[in-house]
Amino acid sequence: MTEINTQELFRSIPKVDEVLSSPLLQEYAESIPRSVLLNATRSTLEDIRSEISKGSRLEPVTMTEVTTELRARAEDLMQASLKPVINATGIIVHTNLGRSILAEEACDAVAEVASSYSTLEYDLKTGARGSRHVHVEDLLCELTGAEAAFAVNNNAAAVMMCIAAFSKDKEALVSRGQLVEIGGSFRVPDIMAESGAKMVEIGTTNKTHLSDYEAALNENTGLLLKVHSSNYRVLGFTAEVELAELVELGATHDIPVMEDQGSGVLIDLRNYGLPYEPTVQESVAAGATVVTFSGDKLLGGPQAGIIVGKAQAIAKLKKHPLARALRLDKMTLAALEATLLLYRDEKKAVESIPTLRALTMRALDSKAAAESLLALIQSALEEKGLSHLCELSISSEVARAGGGSLPLADIPSYAVSLASEGWSEDALEHYLRLQSPRPILARIHDGALLFDPRTLTPGDDIKIAEQILSFVASRI
């Protein structure tokens, strides 16, 4: 009996050609390429087939059902995979959401060089070939006090290149307390190995003294490396050797000293109520041969790895074979230059670079922003007589720098909290996350969904209110 039924079910599956020529798809056949419709049809039919095999399907298949499902799939396939989202999580440098978003000035600069020819490698004064590296070098020197500068694809690339350039086939000394894993597959020991340097671990996890470096020094030492513990802290009974002390030791033995700073902070964050984070300027002033940092963490620019330091060292890097492989493209250079230009005026930088703006937003302003978001949601719901279905409130929260930066900074923040008896917070979270064209990402906490305005961009609040309304309306 079951056997016959299953066979009948299989027989009810239409053929691919039948589906594609179905009148139910006519309208779509014009707007969606045949290859996409074909893929969608095949995957739909395959899934139905496997449902029947598993015995989880007992009804015969209809053409309407198939075409409805495949249309949804085809529309999905027509969308770009990389799409903008609304970040209502309060996590500022959100690693999974693209880290920093760019200042308007940087976006404009990208659009300009992308849509016209540019002076990427052309010197207008001499009318001859120029270098792409000049566009950010002077600015980086001006802002950090370094003698020279160079930027590559990301900080992992910058670190790798420096280690390769200074300590290939030599020993690089690094404290056991700084054998960092940044996330993904970036681990200091692995980068060392890839760069051809022999890593020599010194000291212990919690304490490393200058004498540990001294004891490990020999004629084959190529580099003294200090890695900033950007995404963790060793607390309690600890000791680290200051960069300035390493610089002195390096100078005595003519060995370069490198600091991988990670975050890339150019302003004193303590002035904004945040914990101390060493600035690039401080490391340059301490005399490091090279300092490396990311362009898209706390600097708030595009993905890049920035290297600043002594002229001779940077000159060596520019000539290194990896320089070409790791070079920046013109859009990133444009975004980086525009972002750095904003740093000439700290006030302007803090106001216009989204990462800095979000990071330095005062708790009071965050409360006001949360209140205005709440009012917007409330009035959207009231207009349709649905506000009684939601419990809206302002909750005091902790925002995070994210991106492995400022791990101990609890940033006092306020969020809109939405709860309801009518549905689970998971259901609303899921609905908002699958919105098109702009998915909304919010945080679930304690039976409610939280919307932190700190990480929103202008106009996001209206979209959030609209989508909450459409969810609530779909529930009645």
Ligand X SMILES: *Cc1c(COP(=O)(O)O)cnc(C)c1O
Binding site for ligand X (CB under 6 A): 154-156, 159, 180, 182, 186, 227-228, 230-231, 260, 262-263, 294, 305, 404
What SS3 state is found at 130? coil
Minimum gap (Å) between residue 228 Cβ and ligand X: 5
Token pair for 316: 């060596």
CB distance 370 to 415 below 8 Å: yes
Question: Is 240 or 260 the residue whose CB approaches ligand X more closely?
Answer: 260
Q: Write down the least CB distance from residue 410 to ligand X, Å.
A: 19
Query: Cα-Cα-Cα-Cα dihedral of 194, 199, 204, 210, to 10°?
Result: -130
Closest separation between CB of residue 64 and ligand X, Å? 49
State which residue, 227 or 399, has the beta carbon closest to ligand X: 227
Please identify, using beta-carbon distances, which residue of 73 and 94 lies nearer to ligand X. 94
Report the distance separating Cα 244 and Cα 186, nearest Å.
Answer: 26
Backbone φ and ψ of 327, nearest 5°: -65, 160
Q: Could you tell me which of 289, 64, 269 has the C-alpha nearest to residue 172?
A: 289
What DSSP assignment string belongs to 299-314? T-SSS-EEEEE-HHHH
For the record, the structure tokens of 465 come out as 């209110």
User: In the complex with ligand X, which residue's Cβ is closer, 178 or 455?
Assistant: 178
Compare residues 152 and 267 and give the one whose CB is closer to ligand X.
152
Residues of the chain by 3-state class (helix, strand, coil), percent to 5: 50, 15, 35
d(CA 400, CA 94): 9
Q: How far is the CB of 269 from ligand X (least distance, A)?
A: 15
Kind of pairing between the strands at 86-87 and 440-441: parallel
Closest distance to ligand X from the beta carbon of 373 (Å): 31
Min CB(431)–ligand X separation in Å:
32
Give the Cα-Cα-Cα angle 285, 353, 133 (nearest 5 degrees). Answer: 55
Nearer to ligand X, 301 or 453 (CB): 301
Give the residue with the Cβ less far from ligand X, 66 or 164.
Answer: 164
Residue with token string 């904003």: 342
Give residue for tokens 């923040």. 413
Of 260 and 452, the one with the shorter C-beta distance to ligand X is: 260
- The whole-angstrom separation of Cα 202 and Cα 211 is 10
d(CA 292, CA 306) in angstroms, rounded, equals 5
Using CA atoms, how far apart are residues 461 and 476, in angstroms rounded to an integer? 23
In this complex, which beta carbon is closest to ligand X, that of residue 276 or of residue 462? 276
What is d(CA 130, CA 336) in angstroms, rounded to the nearest whole number? 18
Smallest distance, ligand X to C-beta of residue 57, A: 46
Q: In the complex with ligand X, which residue's Cβ is closer, 159 or 165?
A: 159
Q: Report the nearest approach of ligand X to the CB of residue 403 (Å).
A: 7
Q: CB of residue 295 vs ligand X: minimum separation in angstroms?
A: 7
Q: How far is the CB of 145 from ligand X (least distance, A)?
A: 21
Helices (H), 290-362: 311-319, 321-325, 330-342, 346-352, 354-360
Collapsing DSSP to helix, strand or coil, 42 comes out as: helix
User: Shortest distance, CB of residue 274 to ligand X, whole angstroms?
Assistant: 17
Cβ(303)–Cβ(153) under 8 Å?
yes
Q: What are the distances in angstroms from CA 172 to CA 46, 139, 212, 229? A: 56, 30, 13, 18
Comparing CB distances to ligand X, the nearer of 227 and 390 is: 227
For 79-103, where are the alpha helices, taking DSSP H only? none
